Amino acid sequence: MALERVKKAILFTRLVAYGFRVSVSILRRAVSVKFAALTTRTLTPPTDHSEVKNVVVVGAAFAGYFAARILAASLPRDGRYRVVVIEPNTHFNFTWVLPRFSVVGGHEHKAFIPYTPAFFAQGPKDVVRWVRDRVTSVRKGSVVLRSGDEIPYEFLIIATGSTVANGLPSRLGVETREEGMGVLKAMQARIKAANRVVIAGGGAAGVELATDAKNQYPDKSVTLVHSRQAVMHRFGPGLQKDAMDALQRLGVDVILGERVDSGSADGKFIALGSGRKVECDCFVGRVADIQMLAGQINCTGQRPASRLIAELAPDAIAPSGHIRVKPTLQIDDESLPNVFVCGDVADTKDTNPNSRIAGRQAEIAADNVVLAATGKEPSYTYSPGWGDGVIKLTLGLDRSTTHFWDGESELLFSHQEADLALMCGRAWAGVSAKPFEDTGMYSS
Ligand SMILES: Cc1cc2nc3c(=O)[nH]c(=O)nc-3n(C[C@H](O)[C@H](O)[C@H](O)COP(=O)(O)OP(=O)(O)OC[C@H]3O[C@@H](n4cnc5c(N)ncnc54)[C@H](O)[C@@H]3O)c2cc1C
């Protein structure tokens, strides 16, 4: 007991030190951006536009959008470089709230944050070119878009994140705000119309969806099926227990050590791997099943969106599907020193990939591009830090728990949550958007 207390005290001290390091890093960046603005204002841009070199960023979410902002603020201000951001979505999809908005109506618009030039205000005017399109292939020196256009690059940052086959509650699978709001509303309607909801996958998205659904509709039967022996199995035992306690307190049936046979859903029952049948008029599985049935929800597995690099440099793809990188976040392929990777798609061995990690990697990739653009060797390096693995898990509509874990000890903080929209206003403000006005020029 005493030993456990000492371990927790050590963990708390490490947490404070971690917070301090993060603050210093934010300060360092603010100072260096100010310094760049003051010292390079007088340089003249090249008159010939063909001399302007592109730093292309593929994907604009927690990794790519933030990398583009750092590049805009820190690349040499002599007009030699421009940042080209390529993103198919009309709006920044704020993933954190998708399980909640799959159940609770009236807030859908808050999940779609407008992309706005104001986000790049620290850089020179017009340093960013925004391209609403999808990259369909990457070549050495250029990217090809769905539109057929080809854009050359001097440096490339791949920040394509991850995808799921089934969409909600983890991803939307559509590109416009209107379509995305429609997908969320359709899911809300399916759950509302159902009597027996079965959710597959006891990771964060599954636990959040199950607790929200049961909290919102206490009279419905909600069952969570998970293939492992504990929900939240990738995290510490304290969080596993908190999650299980909350599920049971709300009355969610939890079935562990079983997989769902999604193809067996017939609108009345669904079969588990063992052959057991569970009553179900709203399961969530493969896309084909979603079209067939009244409603389906699958919270299992995201996959890294690494196809573009798999075609260009197949040896750089890890068995997990992530893109192998060096500590500098350059792709692990000697023939592509000018290609960097950051965020969920990068093979950085983080135990709980998340937005903070994506943002930290974005910083390192962008800083290294700036070094290379000024003739220096990329020297900033990334290594996983346990403090980045923190997770805040909602456990019903008015509760959450925050979990820090260093692999041995864990700290858990329970909170009452007053805001059904999970404080997305802060996320809007964090990317220079006015909550909740859809005014971003890039998003129009
Ligand atoms: C349901 C859910 C809840 C979460 N909650 C939290 C949380 O509370 N806290 C937290 O820190 N993290 C959370 N996460 C994790 C977090 O969302 C991810 O770690 C983060 O989104 C990773 O950012 P990313 O930029 O690497 O990738 P993504 O967010 O996946 O973004 C990739 C971007 O690339 C674009 N793209 C993909 N392919 C192409 C292409 N070919 N051409 C051009 N653009 C392309 C996509 O459109 C997308 O905008 C959650 C995730 C989910 C699914």
What confidence tens digit (pLDDT) does each residue in 208-262 have?
Answer: 999 999 999 999 999 999 999 999 999 999 999 999 999 999 999 999 999 998 7
CATH node for 177-301: 3.50.50.60
**Superfamily of segment(s) 24-88+132-164+303-384:** FAD/NAD(P)-binding domain (3.50.50.60)
178: number of CA atoms within 13 Å, CB side?
A: 2
Q: In degrees to the nearest 10, what's the CA dihedral of 338, 340, 431, 149?
A: 60
DSSP 276-308: -EEE-SB----HHHHHHSS---B----EE--HH
Q: What is the pTM of this model?
A: 0.93
Instruction: Parse the chain into domains and list their residue ranges.
Output: 24-88+132-164+303-384, 177-301
pLDDT tens track for 231-243: 999 999 999 999 9
Ligand 1 in reach of 170 Cβ (< 6 A)? yes
Give me the torsion for CA of 105, 108, 110, 114, rounded to 10°: -170
Ligand 1: which of 56, 96, 361 to mutate, most ligand atoms within 8 Å of CB? 96
The percent of residues in the chain predicted with pLDDT above 70, rounded, is 92
Nearest protein Cα to ligand 1, atom 17: 95
Kindly report, residue by residue over 49-78, the tens digit of the pLDDT.
668 999 999 999 999 999 999 999 999 988
Find the 95 Cα to ligand 1 centroid distance in Å: 7
Q: Is the pLDDT confidence value at 293 over 70?
A: no
Average of pLDDT values for 192-218?
Answer: 96
Say if residue 296's pLDDT is above 80: no
Q: How far, in Å, CA of 333 to CA of 316, rounded?
A: 6
Mutate to test the pocket of ligand 1, among 166, 344, 347, 348 (most ligand atoms within 8 A of CB): 344
pLDDT at residue 377, rounded to an integer: 97
Atom of ligand 1 nearest to the CA of 65: 25
Instruction: Say whether 177-301 and 24-88+132-164+303-384 share the same fold.
Output: yes
- Tell me the CA distances in angstroms from 444 to 13, 88, 172, one per residue in order: 46, 12, 19
Query: Could you read off the pLDDT of 410-438 as tens digits, one per residue?
Result: 999 999 999 999 989 999 999 999 999 99
